[in-house]
Amino acid sequence: MGFELWYSKHTGIRRKGTSFSELQDIFIDDITAKYIFEPLACCQITDNPFEVKNTLEQRDFDTLGVVDDNGVKLGYIVREKLGENTIDNYIEKFDIEIVISESTPLSELFEILLEKEYVYILSKNTIDGIVTRADINKPIVRIYLFGLISLFELHLNYWITQNYDNKSWIDVLKQVRIESAEKIFNERKGNNVQLTLLECIQMCDKRDILRTTDDFIKEFDFTKNGFERLLKDVEKIRNELAHSQNSIIANLEWTVFVNTIKNAKEFVGFPKNVGFPKNRTVNYSNLLTLNSNCHNEK
C-alpha cells in the first residue's frame, strides 16, 4: 500500500478510503442471491419414484421440484425420503422457512445457510431456483470474501501500529521470522519506497504479535486462544481463496466457516462495531493513517 494510494503527492490531501460498510453496501444493493442461484430442476408428478431417486443419486442432488402436467410447481421432494409409493406421497410444500427472495443480500446468505444446506429462491412470485452451500464457491462470493479478509488483515496492521512504537513489534517475533520478513521486504521493495517491513510479515506473525499484546486482547475482550483460533481460521479461508481451490469451504466445518466470517466482519467494525471499545469507532477510513505512521519504521 503506497503512501500515494491514500494521499495526493501534489496536494497532500488525504483521499477518500473505503469503509467495510461501503463494501457491504455494494453486496447489499447490487449483489444478491439472484446472481448465484441455480434453476430448480423438477420432475413430473407422474414420474417413477425409483427412476427419480436414481437420477438424484447420479447427479448428487438432494432435492427436486415437482410439477403437474401443466408445469405448475406443486412442491418439492427430498431424495432420502423417496420410497416405493408414487411421487405425490412424498411432495412437501415450500415452507416460508426454506424460501428466500432472489433479492436477499449475498452477505446474509452465510447465516441463512448455517442451519440449512439449501434454500429455495422466490423469483417473480414463483419458486424458480435453489441456493446450496456449494454455491458459496462461485466467483462473486469469493470476491466478497477476499475483500473482507483484505480489510481484516489491514486492521491487524492498524492495531499493531497502535500498540507498538516504530518497529518495537519486532521484539515479539523469533529471529527466523524477522529474517523471512526482511527477505520479502528486500525482494518487493524495488522502487516502492513506501513499503514497510510490517507489510512483509505473514498473518501468522501478526497473530503472534497481537495475541501477546495484553492491551489489545483486553480491549477487544478476546481470549488469547480465541484470537489465535480466529486468525488461523481466517488464514485457512484466505489461503483457499488465494490458491483458487475448487472448494473454499472444504477445510473448515460449515459452522466454523460461517462463524469465522461473522467474527471477521465484527472485527472490522460491521455492522455496529461489535467487539470494539464503546468509546472507539474504527472503520477502514481510520486505516488511511497507517502508511504515514509506518514510515517511521524506516
CATH code assigned at 130? 3.10.580.10
Domain ranges, residue 43: 33-134
What is the spatial distance between Cα 110 and Cα 32, in angstroms, rounded to a whole number?
A: 12
Beta strands in the chain (DSSP E): 38-39, 42-44, 63-67, 73-78, 99-101, 118-123, 126-132
Note the pLDDT of residue 21. Answer: 66
Report if residue 237 sits inside a domain: yes
| Residue 169: predicted pLDDT | 95
Q: Rounded to whole angstroms, what are the CA distances from 16 to 144, 155, 255?
A: 20, 17, 36
Digit-by-digit pLDDT tens for the chain (298 residues) are 333 344 444 554 444 555 656 666 776 667 889 999 999 999 999 999 999 999 999 999 999 999 999 999 999 999 999 999 999 999 999 999 999 999 998 888 999 999 899 999 998 889 999 999 999 999 999 998 998 899 899 899 989 999 998 889 999 999 999 999 999 999 888 766 678 899 999 999 999 999 999 999 988 888 999 999 999 999 999 999 988 888 898 888 999 999 999 999 888 874 444 333 333 333 333 333 333 333 333 3
Asked if 118 contacts 133 with a C-beta cutoff of 8 angstroms, the reply is yes
The alpha carbon of residue 149 and the mean position of all alpha carbons in its chain are separated, in whole angstroms, by 7
| Residue-by-residue DSSP string for 230-242 | HHHHHHHHHHHHH
- Whole-number Å distance between alpha carbons of 59 and 80: 14
Q: What are phi and psi of 254, to 5 degrees?
A: -60, -40
Instruction: Quote the Cα angle for 192-198-203, to 5°.
Output: 120
Report the relative pairing of strands 118-123 and 126-132 from DSSP bridges.
Answer: antiparallel
Residue 24 within any structural domain of the chain: no
Residue 213 lies in a domain: yes
Give the pLDDT score at 65.
96
The count of structural domains within the chain is: 2
Helix 224-242, helix 139-163: angle, nearest 10: 140
Contact 268, 20 (CB under 8 A): yes
Kindly list the distances between the CA atom of residue 32 and the CA atoms of 35, 94, 140, 150, in Å, as whole numbers in the listed order. 6, 21, 10, 21
Cell of 70: 401443466
Q: Are 161 and 282 in contact (CB under 8 A)?
A: no
Q: Are 288 and 6 in contact (CB under 8 A)?
A: yes
Same domain membership, residue 202 and residue 278: yes
* Residue 298: per-residue pLDDT: 34
Residues 170 and 285 in one domain: yes
Q: Residue 157 in contact with residue 258, Cβ under 8 Å?
A: no
Do 38 and 81 share a domain, yes or no? Answer: yes
Return the exposure string of 143-177: e unless at least 16 CB atoms fall within 10 Å of the residue's CB, then b: ebbebbbebbbbbbbbbbbbbbeeeebbebbeeeb
Residue type, 142: R
Instruction: Give me the half-sphere count of Cα atoms (radius 13 Å) on the Cβ side of residue 290.
Output: 27
Q: Would you tell me how many other CB atoms lie within 10 Å of the CB of residue 24?
A: 20
pLDDT of residue 279: 36
**Whether residue 124 sits in one domain with residue 14:** no
Q: Is residue 25 part of a domain?
A: no
Beta partners for 75?
66
* Calpha distance 178→201 (Å, rounded): 8
130 grid coordinates: 435453489
Do 67 and 158 fall within a single domain?
no
| Contact (CB, 8 A) for 297 and 197 | yes
| β-strands 126-132, 42-44 pairing | unpaired
Does the residue 26 lie in any domain? no
